[in-house]
Structure 1
Amino acid sequence: MGEFVSGFEKLSRIGPCVSIFGSARTKPDEEYYKLSVAIAEKIVENGYGVITGGGPGIMEAGNKGAHLAGGTSVGLNIDLPFEQHDNPYIDSDKSIDFDYFFVRKVMFVKYSQGFVVLPGGFGTLDELFESITLIQTHKIDKFPIILVGTEYWQGLFDWIKNTLLEKFNTISPGDIDLLHLVDTEDEVLEVLNNFYNEYELSPNF
């Protein structure tokens, strides 16, 4: 309960933000680290802040881009036995530590106006599918879910379409439209701007 209260108090003042997800293992010299920095900079230049999981890799790159562009840089950190440590690009008053994944995930969904998902592992997939499920079941309002990296996500996208939808009919045709597959920072912003030209920009309360 204390983590919920602390999170709500700090995040209620951050303004419109987009969450960036991806692997903690991605190194600064790798393509997707650099792309995450560029995406975060573009997001900030267009009036949004950036929320990440606060750790290294893609998360660090997202916070770095927001920091370099002079925007809001939020880190929702989780205590893990490996990989996770705070990165240095989070605003000092917007770094929040969590012991519980479920509380942290509520914060991501409640205070994000979009999810940008770069290549990552099980944790990234967990965030992705939880957000799809919450939108599909109308537990939260619809927001854009943007998969960055065709080479990484195309196989999953095709499996969802060909196996879940067409072969086994375990999702509805409209569910596939929740996902946007892109490769550049400009395409990320195009999806965000097109969505919020149609829908009101508001928190997922």
Structure 2
Amino acid sequence: MKLGISALLGLIIGLEREIKRKPVGLKTSLVISIISCLLTIVSIESAYSFPGSDQVNVTMDPLRLAAQIVSGIGFLGAGVILRRDNNSISGLTTAAIIWGAAGIGIAVGAGFYIEAIVGVILLIISVEFVPSFIAMIGPKQLRQKEILLKLTIKNKNDISAVMERIDAENITVKNVRIKDRGEDNHLLQLRILIHQRQKTTEIYYTVSTFKEISAVEIESL
């Protein structure tokens, strides 16, 4: 029964990651949740299966294995954290959910069914609904998304003109990077902030009309 409940709760967590096409999906969450539950059961049961004798007094911690799960799961979590560049890191939420799936398995294995179910419900609410709600009522920065713009400009004297035109379009520039690729080839890399409802294609169409720019590459972060 414990393994079945753990599998069901792990399935719910895994579906959330699977729908979002994250590296850790359904199968990984199921394995983590079920095996964490199994190890917790083994840890508890084995502590009372070997009570010792008159000659030898055996004292065991019922949750010794469970304690090792919490630290050991960090290796899996570290494997899904990716560093794109100096200012962008992805995979932290997925790593936290891996840790959460292990925690759910431990809770079920220890017999805390209600707490485990409530934990999964709160986890899904926190990941799926709370960010959108906070974005609606929170400060302006929470309603913005970040986009990476790579603009190829032939004449370096046109760089300042491009920056002025971007500012005129009410586009917030977060970071600027300029790289010379040759005498008539300069890369202007910009991290910009736009409203989360604004489409990336709109920015592309706007920037591509600048006569100073010979090529445009755009990416949502």
The answer, yes or no, to whether TM exceeds 0.5 is no
Q: Could you say which TM-score interval applies, normalised by the shorter chain?
A: under 0.3
Higher strand share: 2
The structure number with the bigger radius of gyration is: 2
- Structure in which a larger fraction of residues adopt helix: 2
TM-score w.r.t. the length of structure 1 is 0.23
Using CA pairs below 8 Å that are at least 6 residues apart, which structure has the higher relative contact order? 1
